Structure 1
Amino acid sequence: MREPVDLRHQRIVAAVEGRGSARVSDLAAELRVSVVTMRRDVEELARAGRLRRGHGVVHSTGAAQQSPGSGTGTGTGTRTGADIDTPDPDGDTVAVVVPERHSYLYETLHGARTVLAEAGLRIALHIAPQTAGAERPLAERALAAGARGLLLAPRWRTRDAEEADHGWLAALEVPAVLMERRPRAGGALHSLDSVCSDHWYGAHLAVEHLVALGHRRIVFATRDDSPTARSLRAAFTEIAGAHPLVEEWAWALSSPGVGKDGPYTARETADVPTLLRELGATAAVLHSDVDALMTVQRLTENGVRVPEDCSVVAYDDVLAGLGTIPLTAVAPPKAEVGRVAAELLAQRLKSGRGPGSPVRRVELLPSLTVRGSTRQPIAPQE
């Protein structure tokens, strides 16, 4: 039979008052409840003024009157009220779950590190392998180990994989923030906080840059195996289809094997140099940087000069500037996404989400860096 919450709260208060302070993880083990449940109980008791929370430690209200040298502490592993604001070396932990081999999201992680450290939070990094559903067991393991919150960037190579994760993400009992993932309006994750680049605006920057140079026929080649890739495909389709100065355009996969939501038409799987010739295009926007750099190499091998014969814009700007021809590129605010997501999570951990506290969905605008891979067409189209 499950123990009543009020009785459990009484046992928690009695245990802490008898020692002066105790680790949350120790209390959870002693009372045989999960760390997540214990943290929730401690937060309720702290709001009621019956206990005081520290970094991974809970203190009795009487401990606030004790001085560091009073000799009334509890010994090894505990702290008195005088040093409550000093981060505990084994203190509060935030789990960060990102896909392996994803330099874009690793930059996002760098943006989160400083914010979390300043908040007294330790990062526990979990790298998800390239298999469907890999994030869930990592997140569950992190929570079982005592993580107070989650920063998540699931790979979600297909829409089905994304939807398969909705149930357990929506049921999380700790604060969680999605990074570079936008919950669908009205879906199961609609109430989850998220911080994301506005990839529609990034696509807009690329198209407007090329159109302003005089390009009228453009090939868009993107990956199609992540939420970002699918957002870009939709954005390019919308923008190019409605733009009064874009005469012809086509979309294709940026390289074989990066499409997971097919089937695709023959044109959509065509080699980019071939598609450029068929369309008479003078420009291409390519996602991601690696695919863009490799496409430029193939163009050179086929006698197509960049930018003289074909202007190229890359999307991501992680490696775009390192090519033999530095590529003009759209740069999502990767580090800033991580920083803002970490700030939001730290705020949730500090104050929780009470009645009337709105869900936050933050979008940050990408920027365009012009380099040597774009110029006016040699023979501008009329």
Structure 2
Amino acid sequence: MVSTAAERRARILGAVDRLGTVRVIELAAHLGIPVVTLRRDLAALTADGRLHRSHGVVSSPSRATAEQPERPPVVGMLVPTVGSYFDEIIAGARAASAGARLVLGISSYQARDDRAQVEHLLGSAVDGLLLSPHWLPGSDSPLDWLADLPVPAVLIERRGAPGAPAVALDTVASDHRHGVLLALRHLAALGHCAVLLAARDDSWTAHQVRAGYAEAVRRLGLDPQPVLDIRDPGAPGEGPGGIERLADRIAAAAGTGVRAVLVHNDHEAVRLSMLLRARGLRLPEDLALISYDDVFAALAAPPLTAVAPPRRAVGATAMALLLRRLEGEADLPAHRIDLLPELKVRGSCGAIG
């Protein structure tokens, strides 16, 4: 028989009175109540002053007052890589942790690794999760399990598709489509009527960059160009010569008058600047080049103009939002927060179309 909300909440109050201070996930298992349902009931009971909830644990108000200070919350963070784009996101999350302990899980750009890493983090008794799973547009179904996580979670640089279970999760991301528009608008202002896009296709950001390129070309009235695919040199059938072939294609396009290119990401853009010089194209005299990511762009020769997503702010905002969840704020709707990238103008965009 299905219990009413009043009956469930009476059971919850009775269990907390017996068990004392208890983790939300353990309380759900003890009562056999789905975690999502339990969280709603706890929010209502907390708002009424009948329970105290903080950092993933719940207790009676009198017990919370009498007990020793609570331990700081533990936050698990899943990222696909370290050493590049996500380093500053991690740094931002740490800076905003407000005493919370951060536990890192490193997956890969493979969806099958994400769940194992998340289960490992949950086994470490985390109170909440910051997640950047491998997630490409149209591939939500392998990640439906995210909607059933036993602790609050915030997606970073990811967003569920409309109608998918994970769409209800909080999200903090860079607005990469706006970032691409900034780059193409800058090139158009320099007189370029056509801009090439050279981009990867193996990450969420790459797909957002590609979609942003198509939108910006239409909005600015630029001549559309086929996207130049950047392949992973480690992928089957690809080798280190892939970047050489990409440089050949850019040089060929320059021969037809297309003298501006946006490259995702910095790793490829820095390598291309040298290869293009070997093909008779100097930056910025013969070709305008903008990099997307701005991790290493300033270190190139010449320093590359780059779109800079607000990586540190993304991490800090996601952590702050998760901590609000862990504090048990009642009636907090699901958040979709987009932060705007900036264009850092340097020395690689002097060429005029």
Same fold (TM over 0.5): yes
Which digits, 9 at most, give the CA deviation of each residue in 1:36-75, with x for residues without a partner?
79x9587776556455445576655445675xxxxxxxxx
Work out the CA distance in 2 between the residues paired with 1:135 and 1:306. Answer: 40
**Hey, what's the Cα distance between the residues in 1 that align with 2:327 and 2:65?**
23
Q: Residue 154 in 1 paired to residue 129 in 2?
A: no
Q: Structure 2 vs 1, CA of residues 223 and 123 (structure 1 numbering), >3 Å: closer, same or farther?
A: same
Question: What is the CA-CA distance between 1:132 and the residue it aligns to?
Answer: 2.7
2:85 and 2:351 map into 1 onto residues whose CA distance is 30
Provide the rounded CA distance (Å) in 2 between the counterparts of 1:59 and 1:310: 64
Displacement after TM superposition at 1:130 (Å): 3.9
1:299 and 1:27 map into 2 onto residues whose CA distance is 59
For residue 234 of structure 1, give the secondary structure of its aligned residue in structure 2: helix
**Using a 3 Å threshold, how does the CA distance of structure 1 residues 376 and 321 change in structure 2: closer, same or farther?**
same
Distance 1:65 1:104 in 2: 43
CA contact under 8 A between 2:294 and 2:306: conserved in structure 1? yes
Show structure 1 runs of 5+ residues with no match.
17-21, 67-78, 261-268
Residue in structure 2 matching 1:127, options 103, 106, 110: 106
What SS does structure 2 have at the residue aligned with 1:249?
Answer: coil
Instruction: Specify the code of the residue in structure 1 equivalent to 2:14.
Output: Q
1:319 deviates by 0.5
Larger radius of gyration: 1
Alignment of 1:204 with 2:204, yes or no, is no
Superposition deviation, residue 338 in structure 1: 1.0
What is the 5 A alignment of 1:191-340? Answer: 191-244=168-221, 246-247=222-223, 249-257=225-233, 271-278=246-253, 279-340=256-317
Matched to 1:253, the amino acid is: D
1:362 to 337, 341, 347: 337
Q: Secondary structure at the match of 2:216?
A: helix
TM-score (norm 1): 0.76
Which one-letter code corresponds to 1:113 in the other structure?
A: R
> For 1:3-152, what aligned pairs fall within 5 Å after superposition?
6=10, 9-16=13-20, 22=21, 24=23, 46=46, 49-53=49-53, 61-63=61-63, 79-80=67-68, 84=69, 88=71, 91-101=72-82, 103-116=84-97, 118=98, 120-152=99-131
CA contact 2:128–2:151 (8 Å) conserved in 1: yes
Instruction: State whether residues 282 and 310 of structure 1, in contact with CA within 8 Å, keep that contact through their aligned partners in structure 2.
Output: yes
1:96 offset after TM fit, Å? 0.7
Higher relative contact order (CA 8 A, sep 6+): 2
Moved more, 333-342 or 7-16: 7-16
Q: Is the 8 A contact 1:135 1:154 kept in 2?
A: yes
Cα distance, 1:258 vs structure 2: 8.8
Runs (5+) with no aligned partner, structure 2: 1-6, 237-243
Kindly state the Cα deviation for residue 218 of structure 1 after the two structures are TM-superposed. 1.9
* CA distance in structure 2 between the aligned counterparts of 1:352 and 1:217, rounded to whole angstroms: 49
| 1:131-186 deviation per Cα after TM superposition (whole angstroms, max 9, x unaligned) | 33211122223223322211111133x44654311x10122232211111122233
**Paired-residue identity, %:** 35
Measured on the aligned residues, the alpha-carbon RMSD in Å equals 3.5
- Report deviation, 1:217: 2.9
Q: Which amino acid aligns with 1:308?
A: E
Q: Secondary structure of the residue that 1:250 maps to in structure 2?
A: coil
How many residue pairs are counted as aligned between the two chains? Answer: 339
Specify whether residues 353 and 47 from structure 1 end up closer, same or farther in structure 2 by C-alpha distance, changes over 3 A only: closer
- 1:25–1:146 Cα contact (<8 Å) kept: no
Per the normalisation by structure 2, the TM-score is: 0.82
Contact 1:132 1:161 in 2 (8 A): no
Q: Residue by residue, what CA displacement relative to the aligned partner does 1:284-323 show, whole Å, maximum 9, x if unpaired? A: 1100000101111210222211111111100000100011
Matches within 5 A, 1:155-174: 155-156=134-135, 158-159=136-137, 161-165=139-143, 167-174=144-151
In 1, are the aligned partners of 2:309 and 2:340 still within 8 Å (CA)? yes
